[in-house]
Amino acid sequence: MRIVFAGGGTGGHLFPGISLAEELRRRHPDARLLFLVTARDHSYGNLEKQGIEVAVVPSSGSGPLPKRIASLVPGMACAFRLLRRFRPDVVIGLGGYGALAPVASARLLRIPCVLLEQNVMPGRTNRFLELFVTEVECQWAESAVFFHNRSKVRVTGNPIRAGIQRRDRAAAAAQLGIDPAKRTLLVMGGSQGATPLNESVFGALQFFAEEKPPIQFVHLTGRADVERARAVYESFPMPAAVLGFLGDMSLAYSVCDLAVSRAGGTSIAELTALGIPSILIPYPYATDNHQYLNARVLEYEGAALLIEQAALSPARLAHRVTELLGNPARLAYMARQSRLFGVPRAASVVADRLDALG
């Protein structure tokens, strides 16, 4: 079996492909897997160590339209050459502008193609590439209305890493250096747009400091803000595990009672797979405001609260967090509703579809 993964540009596109690659490697140890990535993708170093091949395809998802169109010429030439050499059985489009040239080239070479779609509102690239593919594997049933041919759409969930699971709370807390008995808030900003969320949490600490019993934090700040965040927490002081990045997210998920998060497709897939209640603050500059649409679906079903960034203030954030952490029955209900959207075995479900195509 030979499979090509194509696309990227943000972690939200990359991580489902990496999760699916791990599942396929588990099923087919001898399979050859190739990721065709963009020049700005930096999350593939570990793949090469696992024997998964990586190549860069020229693409430009930003800038003036003439620049983006012009980048298709070298992108198509490069993708066409790589696909002819690799001879894949199937090409998987991960979304993002980086998927355009490889999937279009695969169509010209008559190679079956599948798309992964993480958001309620499909990305513009996937809406265009639908014309060229056999199936579209979606996280949300609500996505079907945005595609012309709904018969191609399968609601499979969004692949997440096999290691994303609830572990023993006390053991996870010990690794993070926090108290397993305290109510714990997880704050995570996703692969982009973390700083405004961090600032709101910093401002809210003065309100949290007055809470009895006290709460503690696992705050994933992004690498740019980690040193400042540690200084802010120490100035109160507030019990917190402050990390720029956490490779083993199961540690954070295992100790938290509530999450404050952006509303990207991958973050939501992980939160719902584990039934974690959340306050979602969509990244307001996401294409087509797709994070807002993701969050709105979960809020409508009672799995999350939605606060738009324009309406976010430290006082409001603190009020919502303390209100929920002080209401165990409400948190339990939100957790149950969250699980309704979760597909912990999504990578296996999508792999089944690929095996059927093969």
Distance of CA 22 to the CA centre of its chain: 16
Q: If pLDDT is split at 50, 70 and 90, which confidence band does 61 have?
A: low
Q: Among positive and negative, which fits the CA dihedral 185, 274, 12, 143?
A: negative
pLDDT in tens, 277-315: 999 999 998 888 999 999 999 999 999 999 999 999 999
| Pair 271, 261: CB distance under 8 Å | yes
Per the CB < 8 A criterion, the answer to whether 259 and 279 are in contact is yes
**Average pLDDT estimate for 210-236:** 91
Residue 51 clears pLDDT 90, i.e. is over it: no
Q: In this predicted structure, what is the pLDDT of residue 96?
A: 85
- Give pLDDT tens digits for 105-123: 999 999 999 999 999 999 8
- Average pLDDT over every residue of 249-256: 97
Q: Mean pLDDT check: name the lowest of 15-24, 189-198, 214-223.
A: 189-198
Residue 193 pLDDT: 53
How many residues comprise the chain? Answer: 358
Q: Which domains does the chain have, with CATH numbers?
A: 2-158+344-357 (3.40.50.2000), 169-341 (3.40.50.2000)
In this prediction, residues 246-265 reach a mean pLDDT of 95
Task: Report the pLDDT value the prediction gives residue 29, as an integer from 0 to 100.
Answer: 93
pLDDT, tens only, 169-191: 999 999 999 999 999 999 998 65
